[in-house]
Amino acid sequence: MIRMFLRIASLTALAAFAWPVLQASAQQNVPPAPAAPDAPAGNAAPVFPPPDPANFTATSPTKDQINGFLHTSWGYDDSRVWEVEGILKTPVEGISKVLVYVGDKTGKQKPSAIQFFALPDGKHIIAGDEVLPFGVNPYVDARAQVEKRADGPYRGSAAKDLEIVEFADFQCPHCKEAQANMEKLVTDFPKARIVYQNYPLPQHQSAAGAAAYGVCVAKQGGSTAFFTFAAAVFDGQDGLASPDGATLTLNSAVTKAGLDPAKIAACAKEPATIADVDASVKLAKDLGVNQTPTLEINGRQVPANAPYDTLKQIIEYQEKLDGITQ
């Protein structure tokens, strides 16, 4: 039997399926992940142990299905290599344990070993403490939800062929850092629809209020006013640390967006506005978004503050998977 030991890793369960991009910082807790096998000597590609037929005791999912899923998840990185090492029955009927070794052709990344549990529906897996979509086309259901329910202000195309939805919190430092990436995406993907969705985290005392202001700015001034407001709030994010500072910061941002702070403040208190923020939070939770900032790229989740070159690479790969031409 393959020997694997659990360790506390710097990656989340979701990171296993976008490694190494998800090493970006985010507002989230960190679950355990499997340990890595021995690293190859020098810069050689890893040599994985030959799969043992004794480790393939379950008939579902098949090795082809797992490889298809991993190709969809990891195919943006030409240097990545992996080997399915086991598909094992568990004491629970219909639930299989899948073991995979992962490395890269250059040997620069330390090889890792991941494990997940495939569920009987054939559409989900459990990795760490997360339930994640599974299959050759794992992002279809999430994409459909986003297309239907993501209604925040947007830049770029009105069409949803390539829809990039940012879930962010105005008081989240990592979200502020991610804005440089968002500006580059607007430039590099002019045919994309790039949407902002509020996801204020409960630990940030001013985040929900800032989100409500943003909803009202978008209603009264449109998307252009909203993104002017959002940039000003992120620039003045330190002011959100206290109630008085938040009021000054938000009112200043409203003024920069060309709107009346008193009207926006009144709108932000209305039940309909609060319901809009709550609906955006519910969408995030329904999609399994558990950190900010997160992008949904036609249903694929990626941290918005990932290294930009890798982020761009993933988007271009998702375009290829979805048959999109820019």
Q: Where are the domains of the chain?
A: 6-136, 141-321
Strands ordered across the beta sheet of 193-198? 154-156, 193-198, 163-168, 294-297, 300-303
pLDDT tens-place string over residues 179-214? 999 999 999 999 999 999 999 999 999 999 999 999
pTM of the full predicted structure?
A: 0.86
- Angstrom distance (rounded) from CA 94 to CA 78: 33
Which of 44 and 94 is assigned the larger pLDDT?
A: 94
Cα 325 to chain centroid, rounded:
23
**What's the CATH fold of domain 141-321?**
Glutaredoxin (3.40.30)
Residue 288 has pLDDT above 70, yes or no: yes
Look at residue 249 and give its three-state secondary structure.
Answer: helix
Candidates 63, 81, 83; CA nearest to 19 is 81
CA 12 – CA 22 distance, rounded (Å): 8
Query: Mind listing the pLDDT tens digit for each residue in 46-64?
Result: 888 899 999 999 999 999 9
How confident is the model over 64-87, as a mean pLDDT? 95
